[in-house]
Structure 1
C-alpha cells in the first residue's frame, strides 16, 4: 500500500437520519460533498449491503467506496481482562482493509465497509464516568502496572478511521485528561497524522505483525509489515505507548523460520527506548466456517493458509459463535514453541497475553 489515503475513495454514504445532528457527522458529510447519500433506518440493517451474497465479488470495492454513518446506542463497558480491562463502546465497526481472517464480517455477511458512529461526545462521556467510578487500579497486572486500560477499537482500525474525521483525535485527547485510565487499540495501518495527537503516554497503540510473505496473502490492503516496524520508534517518540500484537499466528510447514526472521528484523530495527517499553500479545489464528465460505468468493488463495481442518477443531466462542481453532493440546505445544523462539531473540519483550 503506497499511501494509506488510497484505501478510501468514498462514493456512497448510507446514514441514519440523526447522523447530521452531530458535529462529527456534519464534518464527515461535508468532507464528501459529492458522495451519494442514502438514508437508512439503521446502520446495522442495510439489506442491499449486509447479507447480499452478490456483494462478495465487490468485496474490496465496497470497502474503498462505501461509508456508513450511525449513532451508537449501547454505551456500556464490557469487562475483558485479556488485552484490556474493559472494551469501550465502539466508535466504528468494519474496516477499509480486508484481512482474510477478520472476525467482523462473520456478523455482517458479504460486505464490511466502515461504519462510523458519530456520537463520540456521548461515548467519551460514558468512558470518563466509568473510569471515575473505578478509582485507582488496585495493583499491577498483566494489562498495565498502574492504569485501567480501555480498548477503543475492538471492531475497526482507528488508524484508518482517523482519515475520515476527528473522532480518533478526540478520543486520544479524552484520555489525556483521565489520570487513572489509558486507551488502547490495535492497528495494521500506519497513519502518521496520529503523531501530532499528543497522547502524553495515555494511549497504547498495538501494531499487529506477522511474517511479511504471509501478510502479503492474508493482510489485504494493509500497510506493509516493514512500514509498521519502521513506525514504532516514531510513535514512541510522539508519546504513545507502543506494543506489538503477533497476530494471528498461522501454522504451516516451517512457520518457525519465518517468525525467527521477523523477530531478528524487529530486534535490529527498534531503538533502546522502544525496546524498554515494548510488550506483546500472541494470538493464534481463529477461523470460522461462514467466513471461509465468504473468502472462497473473493480470495480463495488465503484459505489455503487459514482453512486447515486437519489441525483445527470446532469450538464455541464466548460470544456464542462456532469457530475453528487449532486443536487443543497441540495448540499449547505450538504456543510454547512460539514463546521460546521469542525469548531467544527478544528477551526484553514481555508477553502480556497469549491465546
Structure 2
C-alpha cells in the first residue's frame, strides 16, 4: 500500500529466534522475502542499533530500512487515568515516522525503528481477562461515559503498524466484542485500510494535530495536517470514535495565531456529525536532554523550537526520568490561554484532559 511505500523500504529485519513460531511473525517475514534476516537474542539487545552513537546520522534511513521483530514478555496492564483508564500491553515499540519530540527514543538510544511484537494473541487474551475482571464502568467520567478505555498504542503508531501486520486488525476486533471496554490510540498517519476494520464504535482514534507550519519542522515523515483533518469524517463514518490530540503544544512567537487558524480549519473541515462527537486532549511539550543531544545529530532545526532553557525547567516524570517542561507558573497561564482560544474558535470540542 502507499503508506508502506512512502515510509518503509525494509532491507533488514532483526528478529528474536522464536518469531517464526507465531502466525503474525511468519506473515511479516513473508511480506519481506528479500530482506536480510539477522537473529538477535532480544529486541532490546541490538548494540549496532541502540548502542551505536554513529546511528544518529542515519536516524531516518534506519527508520525506513530496518524492522525489529520480537515476542512481548511482559503482558501486564497498568492504570493511566488521563487518555485512558488503562495502558494495554504494547504490540509495538518505535515508529517509522520521526517526530523530533517523541519520548520513545529517550530510552532506546541512537536508533528507533519499528519493533513489532508478534504474539498479539497473548496481548489480546491479557486485555480480555483484565476487562472481564473490571466489570461495568461504575459511572461516566471524562475518559468515557460508559466503557473502560484501554490505550493500545502507547509506544508506537498503530496506523503504520497496520501496514505491516494484521495484529492491529485483531485488536480492533477484540474490543468490538468486549461489552465493557473500548480501545484508543493516537496517530499521525492516515491509513485508510483501517476503514474496513468495522470497529462499531469500540475503537477511539485520536488524530494528533498541530499548526502545519510547525508540523513541517517537527512532525517528520508524518501525514500532512490537512490530510489528517480530511480523514476525520471518513473514520467517523466507518464506525470509529474520532478525537483530536492537540499535542504537543510548542510555544514560540506567534503560536496563538497559528493555533487559532488550526481550530478554524478543523471547524470548517469536518461534518456536523464529526463535530458532535469530537473531544480532545491537550498536551504541552515535554522534552529531554538526551533526546535533545540525539536530535542535534540529525535535525538541529527542530531543536530551536523544542529546546528553550529560557522558558523551561527540569521535571521528574512518573517513570523517574528527568525531562524538561515549560516553567510551572507560566505553563498554567499558557495552557489557560490555549483552552480559551479553543473555546472561542472550536466551541463544540470538549477538553477531556490537559496538562
TM-score bucket (shorter structure): over 0.9
Cα RMSD of the aligned pairs, angstroms, is: 0.7
Over residues 118-162 of structure 1, what are the superposed CA-to-partner deviations in whole Å (9 max), with x where a residue is unaligned? 000000000000000000000000100000000000000000000
* TM-fit CA distance, 1:51: 2.1
Distance 1:154 1:251, change over 3 A: same
- Structure 1 equivalent of residue 31 of structure 2: 31
Deviation at 1:347, TM superposition (A): 1.1
1:4 and 1:189 in contact (8 A); partners too: no
CA distance in 1 between counterparts of 2:121 and 2:190 reads: 25
2:335 match: 335
Shift of residue 86, structure 1, vs aligned partner: 0.2
2: CA distance, partners of 1:330 / 1:5: 43
**Take 1:221 and 1:197, find their aligned partners in 2: how far apart are those partners?**
25
Q: How does 1:209-228 map to 2 (within 5 A)?
A: 209-228=209-228
Task: Return the TM-score normalized by structure 1.
Answer: 0.99
Check the 8 A contact 1:5/1:163 in 2, yes or no. no
Q: Map 1:8-157 to 2 at 5 A.
A: 8-157=8-157
In structure 1, how many angstroms separate the alpha carbons of the residues matched to 2:333 and 2:11?
A: 48
Q: Which residue does the alignment assign to 2:205? A: 205
Structure 1 segments, 4+ long, off by >2 Å, are 2-5
Is 2:3–2:163's contact at 8 Å kept on the other side of the alignment? no
Q: Secondary structure at 2:186's aligned position in 1?
A: strand
Q: In structure 1, what is the Cα distance between the partners aligned to 2:161 and 2:252?
A: 33
Determine if contact 1:4/1:190 at 8 Å carries over to the other structure. Answer: no
Q: How many residues align?
A: 354
Structure 2 CA distance, aligned partners of 1:52 and 1:133? Answer: 44
Cα deviation, 1:256-283, whole Å, max 9, x if unaligned, reads 0000000011100110100010000000
Equivalent residues of 2:3, 2:191 under 8 A apart: no
Deviation at 1:3, TM superposition (A): 4.7
- Deviation per residue, 1:49-90 (Å, 9 max, x gap): 102100001000000010000000011111000000000000
Structure 2 length-normalised TM: 0.99
Write the distance in 1 (CA, Å) between the matches of 2:110 and 2:310. 26
Residues 49, 315 of structure 1: alpha-carbon distance in 2 compared, 3 angstrom cutoff? same
Say whether 1:167 aligns with 2:160: no
